[in-house]
Structure 1
């Protein structure tokens, strides 16, 4: 399932397992070396003269290469604990055979035999203990801490069972909700079917499910484009599973659970759909936001706050509900740049807007009014780079006018974005300008990379220095 739908818990376990194995294998090596030296089994000077560090490096290289060969940390392995057992046993056995052969040929110092035997025992004891603890994590903790990822499966009754079994079999990290598309609904018109699926997508989105698998029979796939648009509108990732896959059975006519890799066609496949990429981006966001909060906002907030208070009564921050990831609203922070007014949550700032204060005009022109949003970044509501968050009224309005508008909500909004550094910022009275913004946002989603984020940050800094025409 991890191949199709990412799960934060499994990705974190994967990273933790890699780090723990690397640290503990090296500690095992050092422990055996210290114990063997202290008890006189090996001579320290003889070991050093045989190039101890290349000996140690070879142990790490062999462990790395064999873990890759046996797919120890692959997504398909991490998803099931029994696969981890199997891959661990193969990797550990091969490691000690390969490393022992290398050691006996390249480093035949006195006591090498006892060193290798001791190291083999320690490595296997570690594997046994670590995988025992991992079993507890896989079996007990997903339900206790709600680590399971919810997905929905929609299709005709006769197609649901095999696919549902293939998705959920022996997998504690996913919960599959099935939604049967009634057999008497096959004779409905295209428009009626689309309306039914719109209700399905709205229901699953409200339930917090944003990954839906649709078993595509002929009467469903004839409106696939319309279904993708309907799913996008609810921030639902739609995946198509061929009907023929659902009908495959194995073993003497019995309906066995499907064990093959399912051929799934995803409606959207962006770099940010990978949980590893999301975690990398989140790590950078935390690093940058922490730095800004400690070294910039710590003095900027009191200084700017005093000036804001002097020029107009009211709070230092302007908090406005904005549309976030999966269209969940959050309070977006900004330095208050206007006098308090009843239209602030509905009416965008325009050129020569009388509501803007003198300090507010400077803050908006230099983008400094956005700096408190690093607090939103630290809280995980935003990213440093991403599609700009829009007012809730704008999201509702433009989602009805612009195709794929809601796709921009598949990722966290950003303080700055690809559209903004290309000049599409500020007031958007013309729907064509908003459509162009969305075009740049979708281009960003499709081509995301860490280097693209870095480029956008650099372009934003340059624009702040020289000033922007549409910033007012």
Structure 2
């Protein structure tokens, strides 16, 4: 199972969002001289309003196949909302600007931010077309005219950054095995499949294999398919493409909301809890047994990338720590470790992981690397849980599937909850899971050992 290629394009949206917020606030200072204490509220409203407007206008929903006309439409919507916001604030609260200043401010942020947005957009196109970077390896599956048309478009439009590494024409048994073998041996990011293959007998086998190897699947419909089905379409030039799965946390503003929540929550815990909890727990751990205060272990995170997960050490030093999970009446667990695990205090150092960005407050619990490899062979689509960041707590843990995995039923049901979370995420679901986690700690859990 190959890991995804290292890419940093996912950082572009947070980066451009920060640049945009800095620009609109600095230019507001230049045009309106908002230095008095009463105008701090204006900058807060300006920033929050920008983000809300971005959600409404899909301002940051720009992808490699997005057309310039669509980008221009998003920009116009965004700046219309922003002008209304600034003008309304100026009219309702203290009048701090004349109409000329308002127009000048809006024109200046339009010029500055459009320059940044389109520069990044065209720079990425240049990198894909001439430098061969920021690419995705794809496999085409099918022989219909639409697949062939898409192939011509992608070969011609190097700026889209899609490398066609192979083309399979059928889903017959022999072709299916060849396809699986090829996908196993090569790093493939996405499969573009003709829509009619959804009726083939081997269709589900392809989906399962793709999910288990974290390969995205998209469908290429005919005009008849489009007319007969209510399909959500994306266009690559004039070629319609149907995304298979929509994940809420793929949307940049959902990512931003979740990351801001994680940062604020983890910062508060680090400052107000870990600051005194660490020395206290360190004293108790050191008093009972030799070894480090913190236990760190390689776990599987977002996009199957490994990271160091931190916990308070709750066991005596042992050679099996990276292979065997804790079991009931485990002799490796210390006395203070029993208390830490029972109260979940051993997990608190993971708020440092959250602050650093390798984990989230809520998400699928990360497994040891050896267990990830083992469960990925036993549970279909298991690798899908790595499409979001792992969490300190998760939906499965609040529904009775915490701790030791004793049989296949445990891991299958845990994965079902993880998949539901992946496909139905909302900030309110996160808050509910946090509440249930705290409730279960005080209520006591049978598998908290």
Q: Is the 8 A contact 1:297 1:371 kept in 2?
A: yes
1:33-87 Cα deviation digits (max 9, x unpaired): 9xxxxxxxxxxxxxxxxxxx9xx9xxx9xx99xx89x958373699455654576
Partner of 1:180: 166
Partner of 1:137: 120
Q: Structure 1 residue 295 and structure 2 residue 276: aligned? A: no
1-side partners of 2:236 and 2:319: how far apart?
59
CA shift in 2, pair 1:195/1:373, >3 Å: farther
- 3-state SS, counterpart of residue 198 of structure 1: helix
CA shift in 2, pair 1:164/1:148, >3 Å: farther
2-side partners of 1:331 and 1:90: how far apart?
43
Partner of 2:237: 259
Which segments of 5 or more consecutive residues in structure 2 lack a partner in the other structure?
A: 1-7, 92-96, 226-234
Moved more, 295-304 or 434-443: 295-304
2-side partners of 1:243 and 1:84: how far apart?
26
Among 98, 110, 114, the alignment partner of 1:127 is 110
Q: Is the 8 A contact 2:266 2:352 kept in 1?
A: yes
2-side partners of 1:86 and 1:432: how far apart?
50
Partner of 2:232: none
Alignment of 1:112-123 (within 5 A): 116=99, 120=103, 123=106
Partner of 1:316: 293
Displacement, 1:259?
3.3
Alignment of 1:225-264 (within 5 A): 225-242=204-221, 259-260=237-238, 262-264=240-242
2-side partners of 1:419 and 1:95: how far apart?
41
Q: Is the 8 A contact 1:336 1:360 kept in 2?
A: yes
Displacement, 1:216?
4.4
Q: Structure 1 residue 150 and structure 2 residue 152: aligned? A: no
2-side partners of 1:8 and 1:327: how far apart?
15
1-side partners of 2:156 and 2:30: how far apart?
36
Q: Structure 1 residue 469 and structure 2 residue 436: aligned? A: no
Q: Is the 8 A contact 1:350 1:427 kept in 2?
A: yes
CA shift in 2, pair 1:193/1:146, >3 Å: closer
| TM value normalised by structure 1 | 0.71
- 3-state SS, counterpart of residue 211 of structure 2: helix
2-side partners of 1:92 and 1:189: how far apart?
52
RMSD value over aligned CA atoms?
4.4
Aligned length: 408
Structure having the higher Rg: 1
Partner of 2:393: 416
Which segments of 5 or more consecutive residues in structure 1 lack a partner in the other structure?
A: 1-5, 34-52, 107-111, 247-256
CA shift in 2, pair 1:452/1:430, >3 Å: same
Displacement, 1:22?
5.2
Q: Is the 8 A contact 1:327 1:409 kept in 2?
A: yes
2-side partners of 1:312 and 1:419: how far apart?
32
Q: Structure 1 residue 197 and structure 2 residue 175: aligned? A: no
- 3-state SS, counterpart of residue 377 of structure 2: coil
Moved more, 193-202 or 328-337: 193-202
1:314-336 Cα deviation digits (max 9, x unpaired): 22222222221222222221111
- 3-state SS, counterpart of residue 387 of structure 1: coil
CA shift in 2, pair 1:164/1:128, >3 Å: farther
Q: Is the 8 A contact 2:139 2:167 kept in 1?
A: no
Alignment of 1:451-462 (within 5 A): 451-462=428-439
Q: Is the 8 A contact 2:316 2:334 kept in 1?
A: yes
Displacement, 1:386?
0.9
- 3-state SS, counterpart of residue 310 of structure 2: strand
Displacement, 1:161?
5.8
Moved more, 17-26 or 287-296: 17-26
Q: Structure 1 residue 439 and structure 2 residue 416: aligned? A: yes
2-side partners of 1:303 and 1:21: how far apart?
45
Q: Is the 8 A contact 1:323 1:390 kept in 2?
A: yes
Among 47, 67, 73, the alignment partner of 2:59 is 73
CA shift in 2, pair 1:337/1:292, >3 Å: same
Displacement, 1:303?
2.1
CA shift in 2, pair 1:310/1:324, >3 Å: same
1:7-38 Cα deviation digits (max 9, x unpaired): 6356336645764675478568637x9xxxxx
Q: Is the 8 A contact 2:295 2:311 kept in 1?
A: yes
1-side partners of 2:15 and 2:295: how far apart?
39
